[in-house]
């Protein structure tokens, strides 16, 4: 590893195992996170995502192996000060219901050494400015989730840990939530997100870590996962109205055409066949009005890696 890469490393796992009683929930975990990355942990319930987060936050210790966050073991008391640089939003947020939203946020601000003005700004930012004086017991689940996000954002954290962060949020608020995360990312924050909502994180992650039964099945960018999976590419070819069947016939019998409708036809090919096929479609001339290339979506890649090795 080069010196510059090593200096940018903010999280590292080396041969980490985690066992509770007789159950091993994490096995041989090895990966690094670089400063400024957005890492998304993907896996079914019980795959080990939350266990990984707890290790990074220092809430639990590995049974064996080594975890480092910002150059230290996060579970040691000497690392308490570094937690001021961390923000954490758990899957299920729980606040004292008799306190107002402002009081809750000010309580956490005192722990982090943040200012009252920052609390006011964050409440406005997450859309709770008008509800700041209301008791948390009157908040909906979505409002509590937004208050949890404001708490996690206190102190402009260097590392942000988000466990199923958009639970209870409607589509508009989900979009707003990720816009806030994008802004933190631009300021240099590193994000670790655990999510089942694959369509939400597909375009945002630097890398995905796919877990199954406590083991990392694979990891990489969307492009890298696509290359690993060798799933077929889908192409949609648009033509003049009523011409789809005639143009599809010109493709030849060797092409795998999925279906044909009035104005387009859909086909698939392997990645290695994509460019020759595109050239062939282009050679059809003015019969072709448009062509859309659709690589596998994240949910398809996830299903592929979950099923790999089962047969």
* Helix (H/G/I), strand (E/B), else coil: 65: strand
Mean per-residue pLDDT for 91-103?
Answer: 91
pLDDT digits (tens, 9 = 90+) for 52-84: 999 998 889 999 999 999 888 888 755 555 566
Structure tokens at 100: 């107002």
Cβ neighbors of 61 (< 8 A, separation 6 or more) are: 55, 75
Per-residue confidence (pLDDT) for residue 187, from 0 to 100 = 80
Per-residue confidence (pLDDT) for residue 197, from 0 to 100 = 82
Q: Does domain 232-295 have CATH number 3.30.70.120?
A: yes
Single pTM value for the model: 0.84
pLDDT digits (tens, 9 = 90+) for 155-207: 888 899 999 888 777 788 788 888 888 887 788 889 999 988 888 888 888 99
Per-residue confidence (pLDDT) for residue 176, from 0 to 100 = 80
Q: Reply yes or no on whether the pLDDT at 101 is more than 90.
A: yes
The highest-confidence range among 6-15, 185-194, 207-216, 292-301, by mean pLDDT, is: 207-216
Per-residue confidence (pLDDT) for residue 212, from 0 to 100 = 94
Mean per-residue pLDDT for 4-27?
Answer: 86
| Every domain range in the chain assigned CATH 3.40.50.300 | 3-227
Q: In this structure, which topology does domain 3-227 adopt according to CATH?
A: Rossmann fold (3.40.50)
Mean per-residue pLDDT for 144-151?
Answer: 90
CB environment 153-191: b (16+ within 10 A), e (fewer): bbbebbbbbbbbbbbbbeeebbeebbebbeebbeeebbb
Per-residue confidence (pLDDT) for residue 305, from 0 to 100 = 92
Cβ neighbors of 289 (< 8 A, separation 6 or more) are: 238, 239, 240
Per-residue confidence (pLDDT) for residue 41, from 0 to 100 = 95
Mean per-residue pLDDT for 226-237?
Answer: 90
> How many whole angstroms separate alpha carbon 200 and alpha carbon 195?
9
Residues of the chain with pLDDT > 70: what percent?
94
| Every domain range in the chain assigned CATH 3.30.70.120 | 232-295
Per-residue confidence (pLDDT) for residue 77, from 0 to 100 = 56
Q: Reply yes or no on whether the pLDDT at 111 is more than 80.
A: yes
């Amino acid at each position: 590893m080069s010196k510059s890469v090593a200096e940018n490393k903010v999280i590292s796992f080396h041969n980490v195992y985690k066992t509770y009683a007789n159950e091993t929930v994490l096995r041989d975990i090895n990966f690094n996170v670089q400063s400024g990355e957005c890492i998304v942990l993907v896996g079914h319930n019980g795959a080990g995502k939350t266990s990984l987060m707890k290790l990074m936050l220092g809430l639990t210790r590995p049974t064996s192996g080594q975890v480092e966050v910002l150059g230290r073991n996060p579970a040691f008391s000497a690392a308490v000060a570094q937690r001021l640089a961390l923000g954490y939003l758990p899957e299920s947020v729980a606040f004292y219901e008799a306190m107002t939203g402002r009081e809750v946020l000010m309580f956490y601000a005192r722990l982090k050494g943040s200012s009252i003005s920052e609390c006011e700004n964050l409440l406005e930012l997450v859309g709770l400015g008008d509800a700041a004086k209301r008791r948390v017991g009157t908040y909906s689940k979505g409002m509590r989730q937004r208050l949890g996000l404001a708490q996690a954002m206190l102190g402009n954290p260097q590392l942000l840990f988000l466990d199923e962060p958009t639970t209870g949020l409607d589509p508009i608020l989900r979009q707003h939530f990720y816009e806030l995360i994008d802004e933190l990312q631009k300021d240099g924050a590193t994000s670790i997100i655990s999510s089942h909502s694959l369509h939400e994180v597909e375009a945002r992650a630097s890398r995905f870590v796919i877990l199954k039964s406590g083991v990392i099945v694979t990891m990489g960018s969307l492009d890298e996962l696509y290359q690993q999976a060798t799933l077929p590419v889908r192409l949609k070819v648009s033509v003049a109205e009523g011409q789809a069947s005639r143009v599809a016939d010109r493709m030849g019998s060797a092409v795998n055409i999925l279906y044909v409708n009035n104005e387009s036809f859909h086909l698939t090919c392997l990645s290695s066949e994509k460019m020759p096929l595109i050239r062939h479609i282009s050679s059809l001339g003015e019969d072709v009005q448009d062509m859309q290339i659709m690589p596998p979506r994240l949910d398809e890649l996830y299903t592929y890696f979950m099923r790999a090795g089962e047969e």
